[in-house]
């Protein structure tokens, strides 16, 4: 997981927590698995999972375990 400042965000993303757009310039979080699911890759190979990145609002990320 990595926090992005508003200045680092230059394009819109869709938050998987609320399905709302994260507008450019909005601080948010970027998450990705440590390794791709069902993979024989090294579990700490974060580069291999770069295509699985997701952009979340910080509040949605904190509430992710409470969502249905």
Instruction: Indicate if the pLDDT at residue 59 is higher than 60.
Output: yes
Q: In this structure, what token pair is assigned to residue 29?
A: 């979080």
Instruction: Indicate if the pLDDT at residue 33 is higher than 70.
Output: yes
Counting beta carbons within 10 angstroms of the beta carbon of residue 50, is it exposed (0 to 12), middle (13 to 18) or buried (19 or more)? exposed
Instruction: Indicate if the pLDDT at residue 44 is higher than 60.
Output: no
Instruction: Indicate if the pLDDT at residue 43 is higher than 60.
Output: no
Q: What is the pTM of this model?
A: 0.74
For residue 11, give every residue at least 6 positions away whose Cβ sits within 8 Å of its Cβ, in sequence order, or none: 24
């Amino acid at each position: 997981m990595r926090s992005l400042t508003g200045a680092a965000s230059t394009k819109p993303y869709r938050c998987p927590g609320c399905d709302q757009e994260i507008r450019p310039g909005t601080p948010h979080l970027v998450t990705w698995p440590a390794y791709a699911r069902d993979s024989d890759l090294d579990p700490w190979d974060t580069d291999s999972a770069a295509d699985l990145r997701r952009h979340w609002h910080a509040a949605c990320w904190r509430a992710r375990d409470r969502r249905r």
